[in-house]
Amino acid sequence: MLAKQLTFMLPEIDKEKTKAAVESALEKYRFYLLMVPEDKLPKVTATYSLIPPSFSNEFHSSTEQVAIDRIELDYARNGHIDWVLRGVNRLSKLEREIIYKRYLEDEEVFDYEIYNEIGMSERRYYRLKARIFYKLAFILKIEIYKKGNAEHSI
């Protein structure tokens, strides 16, 4: 019985899919910071309908629907931004600096610019970056596991 307990195996992480999930979350963060959806602006022109006005809140005008959509979008965007920032803030100072400079600043930079700026070798930088991605994946709970031939996310 003790032998069975000692052979417990942790599920294997799918490295590529986990890395892609973290990069996607960070890119979405950058996109959300810059996003101002033009199609979500209310219409100013008058529209006419054969459906009589309803005061039961079942039907919304296009302006009301745009406002509701905008609020929901803002809520989702702000939630994602807060989620990523809380996760990044749990990293060490050097790890935060790398993620911030590479993914969270307005201006997009390349990896070689960052490791040259902080005085780190290319090899050490990429090893550290891979470890940061794993930590961030676990912090954000977006790691992806392999299970036999099928994969699943926890």
pLDDT in tens, 30-87: 888 777 454 543 444 444 455 555 555 555 567 777 778 878 888 888 899 889 999 9
Tell me whether residue 6 is in a domain.
no
pLDDT in tens, 87-100: 999 999 999 999 99
In a domain, 139, yes or no: yes
DSSP character at residue 144 = E
Q: DSSP strand E in the chain: where?
A: 12-13, 144-147, 150-153
pLDDT digits (tens, 9 = 90+) for 101-149: 999 887 889 999 999 999 999 999 999 999 999 999 999 999 999 876 4
Residue 44 included in any domain: no
Please give the tally of structural domains in the chain: 1
- The whole-number pLDDT of residue 124 equals 97
**Which residues constitute the domain of residue 79?**
12-36+61-148
**How confident is the model at residue 35, as a pLDDT?**
73
Q: What would the pLDDT profile of 98-112 be if each residue is shown by its tens digit? A: 999 999 887 889 999
* Selected residue with higher pLDDT from 68 and 6: 68
Are 29 and 81 a contacting pair, CB within 8 Å?
yes
Question: Strand, coil or helix: what is 10?
Answer: coil
Q: Answer whether residue 41 is part of any domain.
A: no
In a domain, 106, yes or no: yes
Residue 88: inside a domain: yes
Asked if residue 68 is part of any domain, the answer here is: yes
Evaluate whether residue 53 is within a structural domain.
no
What pLDDT was estimated at residue 54? 57
> How far apart are the C-alpha atoms of 55 and 115, rounded to whole Å?
61
Q: Name which of 20, 42, 40, 22 is nearest 104 in CA terms.
A: 22
